[in-house]
Structure 1
């Protein structure tokens, strides 16, 4: 049963259920649990017990899915969608349509085989979220169009596509590079817990295993280390390909849509009217390869790190072109920060290892002290690079600020998205004539810093973008030189942005 193409009157809403084939999807999801139950029965009592374990698990899973399907319904109204559950008690979850920030469509392998999809409704912090676990693909797309207020499906225009050769960028990212260790740890943890539950783990067996590992020949140990090092880039590339297979970015019905995934295919829609800016981030390895990750800053978006992703890894020139298509021209070139900021960046880089070295000296640990001194020397290039990455710019329409080295971030924000400013000075910054300017934005993390600007530059930068907010603070009780506009009703400077460390 499906919802009508046009919304019915409020007093004639048609109640809809999930697709009946949700039983098949649920059965495949329970397959791993059934195999585990069968394996347990096989170890404990033989084939007959294993059969009964699996049969009992299948029966319980089938009952659960039948009850879920029978007790869950959803209904579309002109101003909301309601998700209803009724078993012993009744619960109704209402999501106002004007609170909906996005509607994502995803499909696992069983869903795709049955031409079904999962609809995830994100309404931000105020509206919550909801999920329809199995509806037809046609119904999923229709629900997305209705909930996002679209007139109907329109041809999509491709903005960018990730070719397979870009998968080699995966080892440059630390998250994907550690994939083999995460998989190995998860597998070993599962085997240990299962063996412990079955009584296969004893103190004597653990001691014998440790003795065998310590007693391995040196060539074998070296071979295992080399194998692990080789597995890291290979496994990271495979994991990257699985998550981002056939990554495509296209424009459709006033939205930017990102589609990706091999095992689970995911379709994420970002309404352009809610996109307030973009973020370009990279690390030193990615900078050497001229690769950058691109994300969108969207108002009220839940799970923004994943759902706001516009490109997981791409050559910088292409990422900048995509940013221009999604948001507009990126301001540049960036204005460098004053030389006084260089010394401050170096001091902040070398201070932690020097502090640790001082403690090691007091504790009488010369080896630790020498290690800290070496780390302090190596931190000097890091401080210099942090200074080189500082910069800010504006073109009268958008602003851009950049900072960081191990994780460099450049944020580009529409002027209209700025809701406030905060100028922060520590004691040392005041002595050097520096300040950190926080740009408060109603999207993303809420605020982004421009670190160690010249004090007069920080004030002039804010005044050039929102003069009516800043000039009264510069002129004391004098009237502002620019007449306030409706946008000037946002929070006053100093009240809007969080103050993370600089």
Structure 2
């Protein structure tokens, strides 16, 4: 008697090539024998993080224990009992880390990932593999010394936090998990082309950012305030924990008063901090973007960067709906720009969605054209009233302040009022080219496939999204915009920020542009009934 015929491809048995690799039997022994002498069934055992993580967790907990331990030592007078209490606190941290390691397990069961924790109450988290948007693999310094990595899984369902985190797996295990968790990306390509994908991972480099381009880092302004942050943190530490650090709060306050009474020294400190801004900003920028690489791997865009903490972020190409090119005023003068991907369901897109650091603009457009897709259209200008609105907002506040300064000069005539008057007039003069540049940056366009909007001056951003990503239109008009006859047209997008605005378009443009991009939506409202 023949067996009934089964249509479609035969299911891949667990443990077969191309499936999920089987786990060994208990205690690493052979799998249990199968019934009736058949092949033994696969026995999956939950996996734990690497035991080496027990050398990392207590050290990571020390900063939170430092102040209580210092307080115990100061209160106890550095006695044997105080040292005993401090040692007990360190031992408790180690024991807590061991318990956390023992009670946390993870495993891949069929088409889902399960993480279990049973420290106080049993908690099981199940993540279907089809919901996974990306995998973030990073290697902090201590993990790198021990050959470990931190693997974060993003499903786009938990905001700016990852859905699951494995903070201590080996490099080999991270690569195996990454291949399994992201293996569905190559399936659609197989259905389209009909070709069988290769068994191993395929990579195609897109760009390796040269290290000399890291010199553009200070132009981004991302880390320019680092010296002031360090100075503010030191001052706050001196006032809040001065007693514990051996410096009384009264001494810190007296030092501050002494410096305030000597303005030339205060000015010298401020000048030094300002001069340190480009150096510290460039250093921090280089640390975070060292050896930036963008490549395509098995249907994913993979961005790798970092010197101290090496990070690898995978973005599923099918969920990339566009890109955003950003450049500040200084970057625009130097001809460089940064790029972020617009991805559906991506948490923490400002960090995880970065495709390029500061690179020449032509390189940025070339990379986005190769990695995501080109945009073939000129941006359409906005009406002249939009220019008047930007000039008014860039100049009028400073002219008003100059009027106040002129009144002060006429009444009091002191040097302070003269400084206020001159400074306000200078800022009003600077506002004219700034307002003109803000108007020149406005624009929107459509090339038949992708929609583009642009705005901003000090931080100019041009978003390019696919037409299929547009899920709706919204028009917003303030009282001042109604008086000027313009409005803001927002393209609702199910990715990235959720919406991208064309600011101060005319009322005709606000009607014609959505009708051009999505004519099928507006056709029922534009039809005229026959008489």
Distance 1:278 1:125 in 2: 21
Where does residue 114 of structure 2 map in the other structure? 82
Count of matched residue positions in the alignment of Structure 1 and Structure 2: 474
Counterparts in 2 of 1:50 and 1:280: CA distance versus 1, 3 Å? farther
Name which one, 1 or 2, has greater alpha-carbon Rg. 2
Secondary structure of the 2:223 match is helix
Q: Residue 208 of structure 1: which of 241, 246, 254 is its match?
A: 254
Counterparts in 2 of 1:177 and 1:477: CA distance versus 1, 3 Å? farther
Instruction: State whether structure 2 residue 263 is matched by structure 1 residue 249.
Output: no
Where does residue 64 of structure 1 map in the other structure? 96
Counterparts in 2 of 1:168 and 1:92: CA distance versus 1, 3 Å? same
Deviations 1:457-478 (A, max 9, x none): 3322222221101222223568
What TM-score do the two structures reach when normalised by structure 2?
0.80
Distance 1:100 1:355 in 2: 54
**8 Å Cα contact 2:240/2:249 also seen in 1:** no
Counterparts in 2 of 1:319 and 1:53: CA distance versus 1, 3 Å? farther
Secondary structure of the 1:405 match is coil
Compute the displacement of 1:89 (Å).
1.6
Counterparts in 2 of 1:254 and 1:172: CA distance versus 1, 3 Å? same
Compute the displacement of 1:427 (Å).
5.0
Distance 1:305 1:140 in 2: 24
Counterparts in 2 of 1:289 and 1:209: CA distance versus 1, 3 Å? same
Instruction: State whether structure 2 residue 436 is matched by structure 1 residue 404.
Output: no
Deviations 1:90-137 (A, max 9, x none): 111222322221111111112112221111111112696111110111
What TM-score do the two structures reach when normalised by structure 1?
0.84
**8 Å Cα contact 2:106/2:113 also seen in 1:** yes
Structure 2 unmatched runs, 5+: 1-13, 24-40, 187-198
Counterparts in 2 of 1:355 and 1:78: CA distance versus 1, 3 Å? farther
Structure 1 residues 279-298: aligned runs within 5 Å: 279-298=324-343
Distance 1:15 1:382 in 2: 60
Q: Residue 154 of structure 1: which of 201, 209, 223 is its match?
A: 201
Structure 1 unmatched runs, 5+: 479-502
Counterparts in 2 of 1:53 and 1:477: CA distance versus 1, 3 Å? farther
Where does residue 446 of structure 2 map in the other structure? 394
Range with greater deviation from structure 2 (93-102 or 302-311): 93-102
**8 Å Cα contact 2:379/2:445 also seen in 1:** yes
Q: Residue 273 of structure 1: which of 299, 318, 324 is its match?
A: 318
Where does residue 475 of structure 1 map in the other structure? 527
Secondary structure of the 1:444 match is coil
Distance 2:310 2:67 in 1: 27
Deviations 1:42-87 (A, max 9, x none): 7664596786466334312211110010111112122322211112
Where does residue 516 of structure 2 map in the other structure? 464
Distance 1:436 1:208 in 2: 53
Secondary structure of the 1:169 match is helix
Counterparts in 2 of 1:153 and 1:215: CA distance versus 1, 3 Å? farther
Q: Residue 116 of structure 1: which of 132, 139, 148 is its match?
A: 148
Secondary structure of the 1:125 match is coil
Compute the displacement of 1:315 (Å).
1.1
Where does residue 237 of structure 1 map in the other structure? 282
